[in-house]
Structure 1
Amino acid sequence: MACFFLPSGIDEGGSNQSPFAPPPSKAQQACVSCRKQKRKCDKILPTCGLCARMARPCDYTILDTIPQQQPAQASSEELATLQARLCELENRLNNASQSQQPPPPRQPSPPTMHINPEILPPLPPKPPSSLWSPSAVPSRFPTSLFLDLDAFNWSTTPIPTPNMPIPSEVLDILSRGTTVQDTATEYFHGTHAWFPFISRKRMELGLSLWEAGPELAFLFLGMKLVSTPVNNGVEPAGNPLYTAAKRFWASLEQAGSVSLQFVQGMVLVTVYEMGHGIYPAAWISVGVLGRWVEVLGLPGFRRGGVALGSVTTWTESEERRRLWWAIYILDRCICLGNKRCFCLPEPDESFVLPVDDKAFDEGNPTLSPTNPLPTTPFTIQALSPFTRLVQSALLLSRTLTHVRTVIQSNISNRPVPFSLPLLTSLATDLVNFTQVIQSEFSPEPPSPGTTTTPSSTSTFLPTTITSVSPCYTISLLPSLSVALSTLILLFNTYCTPENQHLGPSPLPGPEAPPLQSPSHISFAQQSMQGLRETSLKIRELSLELLDLLVLPSQEKKLSPLCLDSLYASMATLHWLWKEGGDADVREALEDVRRCISRTSMRWRVSREYLEILKRQDVSFAMAFRAESGKSCLTRVDGS
Structure 2
Amino acid sequence: MSCLFVLAERGGDQALFDPLPPSKAQQACVSCRKQKRKCDKILPTCGLCARMARPCDYTITDALTQQQQPVQASSEELATLQARLSELEGRLNSAAQFQPSQQPPPPSFHLDTEPLPPIPPKPPSPLWTPSSTPSRFPTSLFLDLDAFNWSTTPIPAPNIPIPSEVLDILSRGTTVQDTATDFFQGTHAWFPFISKKRMELGLSLWEAGPELAFLFLTMKLVNTPVNNGVEPTGNPLYISAKRFWALLEQGGSVSLQFLQGMVLVTVYEIGHGIYPAAWISVGALARWVDILNLPGFRSGGGVLGSVTTWTESEERRRVWWAIYILDRFICLGNKKRFSLPEPDESFVLPVNDNAFDEGNPSTPTIPLTTPLSSPQTPFTRLCQSALLLSRTLSQIRTTIHGNITHRPIPFSLPHLTTLTSDLITFAQVLQSPLSPPHPPCSLTTTTTTTTPQPTISLLPPLCVTLSTLLLLFDTYSTPENQHLGPSPIPGTEAPPLQSPDHIAFARQSMLGLRSTSLKIREVSLELLDLLVLPSQEKKLSPLCLDSLYASMATLHWLWKESGDDGIREALEDVRRCISRTSMRWRVSREYLEIIKKQDVSFAMAFRATAAGGNK
Q: TM-score, normalised by structure 2?
A: 0.78
Q: Is the 8 A contact 2:14 2:161 kept in 1?
A: no
Match of 1:338 in 2: 334
Match of 2:211 in 1: 215
Q: Is 2:376 aligned against 1:383? A: yes
Change (3 A) 1:480 1:448: closer
Match of 1:408 in 2: 401
1:482 to 456, 461, 464: 464
Q: Is 2:249 aligned against 1:253? A: yes
Equivalent residue letter for 1:547: D
Q: Is the 8 A contact 2:297 2:306 kept in 1?
A: yes
Q: Is 2:566 aligned against 1:588? A: no
Change (3 A) 1:290 1:317: same
Mapping 1:356-375, distance limit 5 Å: 356-366=352-362, 368-374=363-369
Equivalent residue letter for 1:373: L
Match of 1:81 in 2: 19
Gaps of 5+ in 1: 1-74, 98-127, 451-469, 634-639
If you compute each CA radius of gyration, which structure gives the higher value, 1 or 2?
A: 1
Match of 1:553 in 2: 535
Gaps of 5+ in 2: 1-11, 23-80, 94-123, 447-451
Match of 1:603 in 2: 585
Match of 1:501 in 2: 483
Mapping 1:206-285, distance limit 5 Å: 206-285=202-281
SS, match of residue 208 in structure 1 = helix
Mapping 1:386-397, distance limit 5 Å: 386-397=379-390
Q: Is 2:324 aligned against 1:328? A: yes
Match of 1:529 in 2: 511
1:205 to 201, 204, 211: 201
Q: Distance in 1 between matches of 2:392 and 2:125?
A: 51
Change (3 A) 1:147 1:395: same
Equivalent residue letter for 1:255: G
SS, match of residue 160 in structure 1 = coil
Q: Is 2:593 aligned against 1:619? A: no
Q: Distance in 2 between matches of 1:402 and 1:157?
A: 43
Deviation at 1:534, TM superposition (A): 0.3
Q: Is the 8 A contact 1:569 1:592 kept in 2?
A: yes
Equivalent residue letter for 1:143: T
Q: Distance in 2 between matches of 1:571 and 1:305?
A: 49
2:288 to 286, 292, 296: 292
Equivalent residue letter for 1:593: R
Q: Is the 8 A contact 1:410 1:504 kept in 2?
A: no
1:164 to 136, 160, 167: 160
Deviation at 1:419, TM superposition (A): 1.6
Equivalent residue letter for 1:552: P
Q: Is the 8 A contact 1:378 1:433 kept in 2?
A: no
Q: Is 2:184 aligned against 1:188? A: yes
Q: Distance in 2 between matches of 1:339 and 1:594?
A: 27
Q: Is the 8 A contact 2:433 2:439 kept in 1?
A: no
Q: Is the 8 A contact 1:129 1:169 kept in 2?
A: no
Identity of aligned residues (%): 77
Match of 2:426 in 1: 433
Q: Distance in 2 between matches of 1:521 and 1:530?
A: 14
Deviation at 1:381, TM superposition (A): 1.5
Q: Is the 8 A contact 2:400 2:408 kept in 1?
A: no
Q: Is the 8 A contact 2:352 2:445 kept in 1?
A: no
RMSD of Structure 2 on Structure 1 (CA) = 2.6
Q: Is the 8 A contact 1:218 1:265 kept in 2?
A: yes
Deviation at 1:304, TM superposition (A): 5.1
Q: Is 2:164 aligned against 1:175? A: no
The list of structure 1 runs, each at least 4 consecutive aligned residues, that deviate by more than 6 angstroms after superposition, is: 75-79, 410-413, 507-510
Equivalent residue letter for 2:379: F
Deviation at 1:412, TM superposition (A): 7.2
Q: Is the 8 A contact 1:226 1:272 kept in 2?
A: yes
Q: Residues 550-601 of structure 1: CA distance to partner in whole angstroms, max 9, x if unpaired?
A: 0000000000000000000000000101111111111100100000000000
Q: Residues 80-139 of structure 1: CA distance to partner in whole angstroms, max 9, x if unpaired?
A: 425999xxx99x99xxx9xxxxxxxxxxxxxxxxxxxxxxxxxxxxxx985322222311
Q: Is the 8 A contact 2:402 2:408 kept in 1?
A: yes
Q: Distance in 2 between matches of 1:430 and 1:242?
A: 36
1:421 to 414, 422, 438: 414
Q: Is the 8 A contact 1:502 1:515 kept in 2?
A: yes
Deviation at 1:372, TM superposition (A): 1.5
Match of 2:56 in 1: none
Equivalent residue letter for 1:134: P
Q: Is 2:506 aligned against 1:513? A: no
Equivalent residue letter for 2:184: F
Match of 2:38 in 1: none
Mapping 1:32-111, distance limit 5 Å: 80-82=18-20
Q: Distance in 1 between matches of 2:210 and 2:290?
A: 22
Equivalent residue letter for 1:394: L
Change (3 A) 1:436 1:356: same
Q: Distance in 2 between matches of 1:83 and 1:333?
A: 52
Match of 1:71 in 2: none
Change (3 A) 1:205 1:551: same
Match of 1:103 in 2: none
Q: Distance in 2 between matches of 1:301 and 1:201?
A: 19
Q: Is 2:559 aligned against 1:577? A: yes
Deviation at 1:543, TM superposition (A): 0.5
Equivalent residue letter for 1:159: I
Deviation at 1:303, TM superposition (A): 4.0
SS, match of residue 19 in structure 2 = helix
Q: Residues 437-496 of structure 1: CA distance to partner in whole angstroms, max 9, x if unpaired?
A: 12334544237558xxxxxxxxxxxxxxxxxxx962111100000000000010000111
Match of 1:461 in 2: none
1:399 to 370, 392, 409: 392
SS, match of residue 345 in structure 2 = coil
Q: Distance in 1 between matches of 2:272 and 2:145?
A: 39
Q: Is the 8 A contact 2:399 2:410 kept in 1?
A: no
Deviation at 1:200, TM superposition (A): 0.2
Q: Distance in 2 between matches of 1:540 and 1:181?
A: 38
Q: Distance in 2 between matches of 1:612 and 1:361?
A: 40
Equivalent residue letter for 1:494: Y
Q: Distance in 1 between matches of 2:309 and 2:133?
A: 33
Q: Is the 8 A contact 2:311 2:356 kept in 1?
A: yes
Equivalent residue letter for 1:625: R
Q: Is the 8 A contact 2:474 2:509 kept in 1?
A: yes
Match of 1:5 in 2: none
Q: Is the 8 A contact 2:335 2:397 kept in 1?
A: yes
Equivalent residue letter for 1:481: C
SS, match of residue 81 in structure 1 = coil
SS, match of residue 355 in structure 1 = coil
**Higher RCO (CA 8 Å, separation ≥ 6 residues):** 2
